[in-house]
Amino acid sequence: MNATTTLYLARKIITMNPQQALARAVAVRDGRILGVGDPESLRGWGPCTTDDRFRDKVLMPGLVEGHSHLLEGGMWDFVYVGYHDRRGPDGCRWAGLKSFDEVVARLKEFESTISDPAQPLLAWGFDPIFFGVERMTTLHLDRVSTRRPVLVMHASAHLMNVNSFTLAHSGIDAATPIDGITRNADGNPSGELQEFAAMFLVFSAVGNLYFDAGQSERGIRNFGRVAQLAGVTTATDLVNDLGEDSIGNLRKVTADPGYPLRLVPALAPLRVLQGDPMARLLEARSHNTDKLHFGLVKLIIDGSIQGFTARLRWPGYYNGSPNGLWLVPPRQLKDIVLAYHRAGLQVHIHTNGDEASEVALDAIEQALAEHPRWDHRHTLQHCQMADAAMFRRMASLGVCVNLFCNHIYYWGDAHYALTMGPDRANRIDAAGTAQRLGVPYAIHSDAPITPIGPLFTAWCAVNRLTSSGRVLGESEKISVADALRAITLGAAYTLKLDHLIGSIEVGKYADFTVLDDDPLAVPAETLKDVPIWGTVLGGRVFEAPKL
């Protein structure tokens, strides 16, 4: 018997394995779970070191964030101008800004600290939906600077505002023939750019510094820090170009034993401007390790609901806004899905509006008709407006769903009053329906769109409270136990990693989230406040720094 076995004793272990849902001890050897149960039976494995530092803690399977972006790690290089307070990887809290003037004032303050006259000023997290009908224009951002590019990414990352200097520098004017360029009454661009075709004009002139920062070594490390503070042990990066630099940085950072995260980057084919994206993905898979998992494909087919760029079915937007934009035309989507489906790959499709979800299901159905395949686990990401009929289709097609439950809190009031109206807002992110109809589901933050924090996301799915305190859709609430499953085994299933992570079960990686309190025992309204002591990844303990 070797002495490298560690026996962890805890106040309670929530395993997610129904065979023994609760336990008091878990034995770990070689980074994997050797056994779970009572200490006596585990000692049958031979000599071990007993570690009782968790004796008053509660252990869960390591939390899995099935929809996040490395951008979350990169964004902290830039100025946060969001409405809600937000905490960065250094623990610093940035105060939320409650008016356009406050946004402009913070940008001016930072502008005055930049010495290089050519350096662009980048900001993120902005959301005009909280400021009534007024939209940000070049008039606001020209107050910040008329001599350097000023870019303000919206919280959704689907829209951006820029100053006049940036428009001119990017060659965007009244004659530029692109749909997402918002215009003033006189036909000139207002400075708001919707979706990637319009934003791309700016990125090709000044560079996509947001994206580059997220894929940099520093961005990946910051992301790990933010995720670990939230108790996450496995997280996705759902838009990656799998370029040489990006793969190199991912390999380097995840190979560091001190890096506290397993990463699942997904290829976004539309980000690959040269060469064959599928070949890149197949090649990337040869670099897979226990902390780095390539293999997912991510497609984005519509925009954001609160940005009014999502594609909605009849009756459309509650406030009468015109329908949103296709980022991939439906006809082309069928070909793309079929190609990756045929190659045996797993496709995750961003669909915010219900028209987009329907088109995605059509594409998957056609791919399955032409090329039957079992256990494909294609997944609809966000899928915020699906009705029960669509969930029945998902069940019959073997499609998984990952619901954006944080929206209920952050934008639920706006959805009720402006974007969807009461009927559809009450069934937003319908985890209850997914549960009842047997659709495999997860729930997510889409960080940096909202902060990464699976316990908060679980709280949203359980309580369905908006930021003003309204309950959206009583019948779509799920139990705490089901929500905890969605942020562990549920998310692992959508990533085809449920054989390795997601439960505390013999043979799986020894990944735990260590809590100061019992999420199954605290009142459901306080689930988001359960303190996270730290995590264990492959048997290595990572105590979260006390902030």
The residue (of 6 and 352) whose beta carbon lies closer to Zn ion is 352
Pairing of strands 189-194, 232-240: unpaired
The residue (of 429 and 446) whose beta carbon lies closer to Zn ion is 446
The residue (of 302 and 446) whose beta carbon lies closer to Zn ion is 446
Contacting positions for Zn ion (CB under 5 A): 446
The residue (of 445 and 535) whose beta carbon lies closer to Zn ion is 445
Report which of 487, 542, 509 is spatially closest to residue 54, judged by C-alpha positions: 542
C-alpha dist (Å) from residue 152 to 74, 180, 202, 303, 421: 15, 16, 12, 17, 28
Whole-angstrom distance, CA of residue 140 vs CA of residue 131: 14
- Closest distance to Zn ion from the beta carbon of 69 (Å): 6
The residue (of 5 and 240) whose beta carbon lies closer to Zn ion is 240
- Closest distance to Zn ion from the beta carbon of 386 (Å): 17
Total residue count of the chain as it appears in this document:
547
- Is the CB of residue 478 less than 8 Å from the CB of residue 435? yes
- Is the CB of residue 348 less than 8 Å from the CB of residue 381? yes
- DSSP codes of every residue in 283-329: HHGGG-BTTB---EEEEE-S--TTTT-S---TT--TT-PPP---SS-
φ and ψ at 292, to 5 degrees?
-140, 120
Q: Round the CA-based radius of gyration of the chain to a whole number and report it.
A: 23
- Closest distance to Zn ion from the beta carbon of 238 (Å): 5
The residue (of 48 and 239) whose beta carbon lies closer to Zn ion is 239
- Closest distance to Zn ion from the beta carbon of 327 (Å): 12
Q: Which residue is nearest to Zn ion (CB)?
A: 446
Whole-angstrom distance, CA of residue 291 vs CA of residue 520: 29
- Closest distance to Zn ion from the beta carbon of 296 (Å): 12
The residue (of 60 and 64) whose beta carbon lies closer to Zn ion is 64
- Closest distance to Zn ion from the beta carbon of 11 (Å): 36
State the Cα angle at 424 between 418 and 426, rounded to 5°: 100
φ and ψ at 262, to 5 degrees?
-90, 140
The residue (of 446 and 511) whose beta carbon lies closer to Zn ion is 446
- Closest distance to Zn ion from the beta carbon of 488 (Å): 20
The residue (of 159 and 532) whose beta carbon lies closer to Zn ion is 159
Whole-angstrom distance, CA of residue 356 vs CA of residue 350: 8
- Closest distance to Zn ion from the beta carbon of 396 (Å): 26
Whole-angstrom distance, CA of residue 129 vs CA of residue 107: 19
- Closest distance to Zn ion from the beta carbon of 486 (Å): 17
- Is the CB of residue 153 less than 8 Å from the CB of residue 141? no
